[in-house]
Amino acid sequence: MPERVGELRWLWITSRHPQDEKFFLYYPNSGVADARVMQVCDRGGIEHAILIWNVCHECRCGLIAKISMIPEWQRQGLGRRLVQWALRQGPGYEWVTSSQSPDGRQFFPALAAETGTALTNNAEACVHVDLVNRAYPRPRLVRDI
């Protein structure tokens, strides 16, 4: 069961969308530069992909703190869709990423070239970004990312 989604709510979500195999749950931030989360679950509520990012509108910067997904869902454009969702929340901002896996070292430069947004590896986030004290408000189902 996805975090902060009750059993009845999950049953309602899955029954309303019987053809969907992937469910996108967006946990908006609750603070100025608190983490935002997009969790992708299968019909059983098992998380198979997650993106955690921060945006600071005061400093006009963003941080991709984490992106991961199961191998079966990789190389299908899902990671690209997730990061593009995050980038739309800080258009024209300076974006940095946390340290990257071998896959990430290929993924982020390709995405940077495609979007025109520099995704600087392992750079410092602004002082307002709080990586430690994350709050996870109740998520909402997002139909189109």
**Domains in the chain: boundaries:** 7-129
CB 78 within 8 A of CB 92: no
Whether domain 7-129 has CATH 1.20.120.430: no
Question: How many CB atoms neighbour CB 71 within 10 A?
Answer: 8
Q: How far apart are CA 58 and CA 32, in angstroms?
A: 9
CB 38 within 8 A of CB 50: yes
User: What integer best gives the mean pLDDT of the chain?
Assistant: 88
What residues form DSSP beta bridges with 2?
none
20-43 tens-digit pLDDT? 999 999 988 766 667 889 999 999
User: In residues, how long is the chain?
Assistant: 145
Q: How far is CA 48 from CA 58, 61, 95, 107, in A?
A: 33, 27, 24, 18
pTM, full prediction: 0.88
Residue 1 confidence (pLDDT): 81
| Most confident of the ranges 49-53, 101-105, 120-124 | 49-53
Q: How far apart are CA 63 and CA 86, in angstroms?
A: 9
Token pair recorded at residue 123: 């750079």
